[in-house]
Amino acid sequence: MKVRWFVSVLFMLMAFVATLFFAEEPISHSKNDGFVLLPNAKLVRWVARSHLSLVADLYWLKAIHVAGGVNSSEEARELFSYGNFIAELDQKLLQNYWLTGLNLPFQTANGWENAELASQIYERGLGSFPHNTKLLIYYASNELFYRQDQIKSANLLMELSKNTDAPPYAGMLATRILAQNRNFDAALDFMSFMHEMAADDMERELLEKRMKEIELEQLLVVLDNSIDEFQKQYGRIPKTPEELLSVGLLSRLPEEPFGKEFYIHSDGKAYSTSISSRLQMFSGK
């Protein structure tokens, strides 16, 4: 009995060492980005074939930990590495696709990064879960908000509208996206439905943040219009939002959704101290 136990432990240790030895090269996305060293998925599937779902769950817990601490575009790309690796181990873990896809887009001074990687994750998820309502909704929102591909987003919504559990306005929303740009009501309707479908607090919290970002951009557009009118009347850029209020171009100062402050940049556009850049879908940049 002891010999059998010893052989089993020895085999497990040898498998662990082999897994490390044959680990894949760090997944790097550019010379300045971080990377994640992960085991070779094929080897892990062979070594842990009788407990593969357990191994996938362990890496899933690690992915949740990474998702909860994403503070940069590079850290978000670490989650992409985990998401793909977990999909190699267990392609039927639905949560892996939407958790990774939702957390990949990261706003920087240059706009939204990693949106293309999120599309790749959603595509992979739909390969395992064709026509899945949640994945189609999240994929469509990624194309609409972060990649500014209205056609792709509308097509995904049209596909979604064929599902029996699809929201009744999916087809109508697709039509509105194709017909109009800067449609904040449609965007908020979209996010509100996603929020209703959220399965846990982490998902709801992230979607609430996205909704506030849309509401913020809506207010910034209102300020932009007042700034343009001020320039026409006075031939200069106003210094502060309060100046717009003082000359009657604003009835009141809007409340910043994140509790921060609005300011007017030298480029003649309104910004908030809560986010360094504007939502490109609505800003027209």
DSSP string, 223-253: HHHHHHHHHHHHSS--SSHHHHHHTTS-SSP
Over range 98-117, report the average pLDDT: 89
DSSP string, 47-109: HTGGGHHHHHHHHHHHHHHHHTT--SHHHHHHHHHHHHHHHHH-TT-HHHHHHHHHHS-EEET
pLDDT digits (tens, 9 = 90+) for 40-83: 777 777 877 777 788 888 888 888 888 888 888 888 888 899 99
At which residue do the structure tokens 């003649």 appear? 268
Residue 26 has pLDDT above 50, yes or no: no
Residue 37 has pLDDT above 80, yes or no: no
pLDDT category of residue 23 using cuts at 50, 70 and 90: very low
pLDDT category of residue 169 using cuts at 50, 70 and 90: confident
Could you tell me which residue, 276 or 219, shows the higher pLDDT?
219
| Other CB atoms within 10 A of residue 63 CB | 24
CB 80 within 8 A of CB 117: yes
First-to-last alpha carbon distance for the chain, in angstroms, is: 71
Domain map of the chain by residue range?
52-210, 213-283
| Other CB atoms within 10 A of residue 71 CB | 8
CB 159 within 8 A of CB 137: no
pLDDT category of residue 15 using cuts at 50, 70 and 90: low
| Other CB atoms within 10 A of residue 115 CB | 19
pLDDT digits (tens, 9 = 90+) for 78-105: 889 999 999 999 999 999 999 899 999 9
Write down the pTM of the prediction: 0.62
E strand intervals along the chain:
27-28, 35-36, 106-108, 111-113, 262-264, 270-272
Is CATH 1.10.10 correct for 52-210? no
Rounded to 10 degrees, the C-alpha dihedral 230/233/236/240 comes to: -30
Residue 254: phi and psi, rounded to 5, are -65, 155
Residue 159 has pLDDT above 60, yes or no: yes
